[in-house]
Amino acid sequence: MKIPLLIVTFLSVLGSSLFAAEPVAITVIEDFSDPKDNPQFNTDVATVLVALSQSHPLILSYRVVEESSEAQAPQAKFEPFTREMPTPPQEGLRLGDYQRAVAKFQADLAAWKNGKDGYLQWRETQKASAQAWLAGALRKQTETSQRFARELARRRGDYRRSDVCGAVLTAAKADFPPGHHGYLILVSDLKDQPLGRAGRTTPLKELPPEITLVLAHPSATRSPLIAGLPNRVISAPTLAEAVKLVSAALTPTNPTALAEGAPPSGTP
């Protein structure tokens, strides 16, 4: 699969050093069980998320709500480039000393750029990880949304199966290691209708309270699954807007953006 160049534009910004903040884990879950809901995850969304690896150790996961939950999901791990750029020699040295200092600086700078652990190798590794994750996520999105549409047509509009609780709890268990700031972005109405059993209508109290829920569906805030949870719950009208809020909150220059942009939404 050919990945648009947009996914690697985040790599064009280069400073003398990059700030490494606390690790972050972000999972996007999409739900296509309602025939009126269409996929929203795309290259633009992925680019905003991957760009966070400039400043954070980052785990990105993509999941879809299916008839029953699956443990596996497209996932990528990123580490920011934190190796300091060599410092050029100071002026005022004797010519011979300055020449030797310049030669050492140029050798160190070449290693910083082209060495085994240099910037260019890091850049290629990041690009490969980003492309593989995006390809896997789009493949999963396409296969699942097509299957749901096929069943919808075959059953003449009478098909709605969604293990929402399974998808959310599986993601919470598998995608958020200890010590990571967790953001679970849900593009779902949060109506639990799994195949072969009754849907759940009680709060997901098993959900780790440190995970922030970001709801990107107009009906999600009314779901009984999140009623009264201690988790921080915020909402956005679309996945793209939800991702922008998370990105702004995690940008070192604007740490309060999430609170300012979208205060916690009320739950029933």
**113-122 confidence digits (pLDDT tens):** 998 889 999 8
* CB 27 within 8 Å of CB 185: yes
Position 253 scores a pLDDT of 62
Residue 215, H or E segment: strand 211-215
Residue pLDDT, tens place only, 32-75:
888 888 999 999 999 999 999 988 999 999 999 998 877 789 99
- Cβ neighbors of 124 (< 8 A, separation 6 or more) are none
The end-to-end CA distance of the chain, in Å, is 44
The DSSP call for residue 225 is G
Q: What is the Cα Rg of the chain in Å?
A: 22
Position 3 scores a pLDDT of 46
Work out the pLDDT band at 252, boundaries 50, 70, 90. Answer: low
The answer on pLDDT for 213 being more than 90 is: yes
Edge-first strand listing for the sheet containing 58-65? 75-78, 58-65, 24-31, 181-187, 211-215, 233-235
Q: Indicate whether this model's pTM tops 0.75.
A: yes
Q: How many percent of the chain have pLDDT more than 90?
A: 63
Q: Determine the residue type at 121.
A: Q
Rounded to 5 degrees, what angle do the CA atoms 56, 59, 61 make?
145
The DSSP call for residue 55 is T
Residue pLDDT, tens place only, 151-197:
888 888 877 788 999 999 999 999 999 999 999 999 999 999 988 88
